[in-house]
Amino acid sequence: MHIENDVFNIEFNEKDEPFAKDILNSLANEQGRIMGFFGLKKLPKKVEIILYNNLQDFINLRTENGKYPERYQGWNVATVKNGDIHILNFDLYKNAPQHEDTTLDDYKKVLLHEFVHACHEEILLDKNNMPALLMEGIATQLAGQTKYDLNRKIDCSPQDLVRKFYRVKYSYAYAYEIMGYLMETNSHEDLLKILREPHKIDAFDLVAKTNSYLENKQECKKENKNFNKNMLER
């Protein structure tokens, strides 16, 4: 079965029909904001969203010959391929131990996250060179995935963060904070320039500046807390 609007076409199993309609309504409310951010008036084709109700079918998409390799991880429940979004349905999604506490709102943000990826790909100047650090950073930020807002100092190798992103602990939180720094310190026009050519980033410089930015944020919070405490004690 399928339902669609001017941007999305959702394919699903019959039992997921109410769920699919709810998803489409939520995406419809956000599609203009996301496309507008990237300066896109329309996409070259509708974004297909395929809801999987069979885990092995999803694994077959992600792997060769339908094998279940060691590199497949349970957190991997959604992907963008050729501009289309492939994602486990909500029930299967929650079956993964890493996602058992996922709410429907969280799930919708994952779909929005994947839509950000699809839109981002449209403005990339080199689609064969897409470092995950900034791709995941802008996706987590625009999807409103504040669970990654840990205010955590980046204490891993900048080189690993760029070259081994998905193997680094807290990588998504780091990406969220780095993109937060870039959004705070750049005009929208300059930020789009960075996102068009993300492979040109100087990871070492970016990590250092983001850490300084986070330290300043923490210091400001402490000062505000002390100020409020002093005011209350007067």
- For each of the chain's 234 residues, which pLDDT tens digit applies? 999 999 999 999 999 999 999 999 999 999 999 999 999 999 999 999 999 999 888 888 877 544 444 455 666 788 888 889 999 999 999 888 788 888 999 999 999 999 999 999 999 998 878 889 999 999 999 999 998 887 778 888 888 888 899 889 899 999 999 999 999 999 999 999 999 998 888 888 998 899 888 888 777 665 555 544 444 455
Domain ranges for the chain, please list them: 1-123, 126-234
Please tell me the predicted confidence (pLDDT) of residue 128. Answer: 79
Please tell me the predicted confidence (pLDDT) of residue 67. Answer: 44
Please tell me the predicted confidence (pLDDT) of residue 99. Answer: 85
Please tell me the predicted confidence (pLDDT) of residue 220. Answer: 64
Please tell me the predicted confidence (pLDDT) of residue 188. Answer: 97
First to last CA, the chain: 66
Please tell me the predicted confidence (pLDDT) of residue 223. Answer: 52
Please tell me the predicted confidence (pLDDT) of residue 158. Answer: 87
Please tell me the predicted confidence (pLDDT) of residue 83. Answer: 86
The phi and psi torsions of 152 (rounded to 5 degrees) equal: -95, 125
Single pTM value for the model: 0.86
Please tell me the predicted confidence (pLDDT) of residue 65. Answer: 46
CATH level 3 topology of 1-123 = Glutaredoxin (3.40.30)
Please tell me the predicted confidence (pLDDT) of residue 222. Answer: 57
